[in-house]
Structures are given as C-alpha cells and as structure tokens.
Amino acid sequence: MTDYVFDANELTFAEHVIQASMKQPVLVDFWASWCQPCQVLKPLLKKVVESYNGEVHLAYVDTDVEQNLAAQFGIRSLPTVMLFKDGEVVDQFMGAQPESAIRALIDKHMVRESDLMFHQAMDLLEQDHEAEALELLRLAHELDPQNSKVLFTLARFAAHSGKIEQALSMLSSIPDSAAEAGMARELKAQIHFGQQAQSAGDMTELQSRLAANPADCDAREKLAVLLVTQGQHEAALQQYLSLMQLDRSYNDGAGRKGMVQIFEILGDSNPLTTTYRRKMFGMLH
C-alpha cells in the first residue's frame, strides 16, 4: 500500500476518503474476499491509480468487515466502485471493468491544465482562429504529453495538412487504454486507405477490368480502396470478402487486412462490422 492506495474502515473513512476528496478524487472499492470479480478488479484499480502519481487516491473497503459502511452507501452488488469528489459520490460502477473504462471515469472528474487548454483551443476553432488553436494545443502537449485528447487532435491536424508520418507517430503514442484509442485506430485506417487510393487508379477502369476478369485480384483490391474513400463501406467489404474467396493469401492477406481496417472505421457496434466479421471468420475457420 502507498499513501494514495490504502485500506479504509469506519474509523478512517471520514478523514481519508470524505475529507481527502476535497483535494483530489478518491476511488472507493467495496469488495469481499469471496468475490472473484473483486480479485480481478483490485490489482487493476491499483495499477490505474498509481499511474496518476497521487492525483487520485484509492481506498479498499472489505464489506465483510465494514458492514456498516457497506450499508451506509447502499452496496448491493460486488464489486462496487464509487468516486468521491468534494466530499460526495459523483460517479460509480459495478462489476469488473476494463482499464479504459476506469480511466475514462477518473478523467471525467479530474481537472488538468492541459484539459483547460484543450477546451480553450476548441473554442478558438469554433471562432475560426485555427492558428491560435493549434499553438495552444502544442503548448498543452508540451505541458502534458500523456493527454490523449490533445495528442489525437494534433494528429488530426497533421493528417489534414498532409503531414502523414507525423500524424501516424502521434496516433501510435495513444495507448490502447485511452478513451481516444478507438478514434486513433479509425484515423489510422483512414490514412492508410487515403495513401493507397493515390495509386489505385480510375474506378471506372477498375470496374471494367473486373467485368472482363472477375479473378483480377489487383483490380478488386484497388476498387475496394476507392470505395472506402468514397464512404461506400459495405461495397468495399464485399470486394475484400470476394478477394479472400479468390485468394486468401493475395498481397499478404490484403482481403482480411482491408476488412479489419474498415471495421476500425465503422466501430464494433456497427451492423456491417457484425455481419462481415462473421462472414470473414466463417471463411477463415
């Protein structure tokens, strides 16, 4: 245990949680030794909180021992994690959660100087002051290189201004646990297709090649790329699926890789992702 990761009980709760939350957010993990999800969550919470270097604290409350505390806060399911700020419960979740969800909950209630600068930059953008906004974002990044919101926005600026390598480098610096990780993967995929489209050729010509020879894998792959850049994702997925049917190993598995990158753009909840992921797995297995 450390100064900001500790066990709390009925005697220490007021000082170490309620009063301490006036200075920084305090997570309280209500757990029990017999609860398997609790055993999974406890070390993950510790790892996440320690990465904030004291900007957020973590208190463990053993509900079998501290039954009064559990009753006071209406704990009915384990694990339950509550976030205290300014002496009050401001957020909570139940059950084991992934690291990205825990970080998103904490970040939502933390005030970081770089976040204030980020929001100021967004206000400047709304007023069409792009140069000033970009400079403020760069300063925010220098102040807090780990702020993924700032990093992603700078990467998007770089991509739109044609600084592709810089954009990809920034996107690769965004951890998988960050709330912006999904958007980073989406932008990476869009950049990839944009680069491929530059040498893909003319869509009409590619369609003519396929009409003459449906087994033309090169034409089919290039047509799929152009379809993606035009937002025709289902048509592109069908072309990549057909490419897999023709030759799964073509161009180092271009059919499967293309489908995966479109899934990144669409997101896991999109019905096209669900449908074509099932088709792709069916073909692979």
Which residues does the annotation mark as catalytic?
A: 35, 38
DSSP category for residue 93: E
Task: Tell me, rounded to whole angstroms, the distance of Cα 6 from its chain centroid.
Answer: 29
Cα torsion for 89, 91, 96, 102, to the nearest 10°?
-120
Q: Which tokens sit at 93? A: 């979740």
Q: Hunting for tokens 């320690």 — which residue is that?
A: 50
* CA-angle at 72, arms to 69 and 77, nearest 5°: 80
Inter-helix orientation angle 254-266/217-229, to 10°: 10
C-alpha to C-alpha distances, 140 to 11, 55, 92, 143, nearest whole angstrom: 41, 18, 29, 5
DSSP secondary structure letter of residue 95: S
Measured distance CA(157)–CA(144) in Å, rounded: 18
**Residue for token digits 């300063």?**
139
Amino acid letter, residue 12: T
Phi, psi at 7, each rounded to 5°: -90, 140
User: In whole angstroms, what is the distance from residue 137 CA to residue 153 CA?
Assistant: 8
Of 182, 177, 173, nearest to 103 (Cα)? 177
Q: Exposed (0-12), middle (13-18) or buried (19+): which is 259, by Cβ within 10 Å? A: buried
Cα dihedral sign for 122, 126, 127, 132?
positive
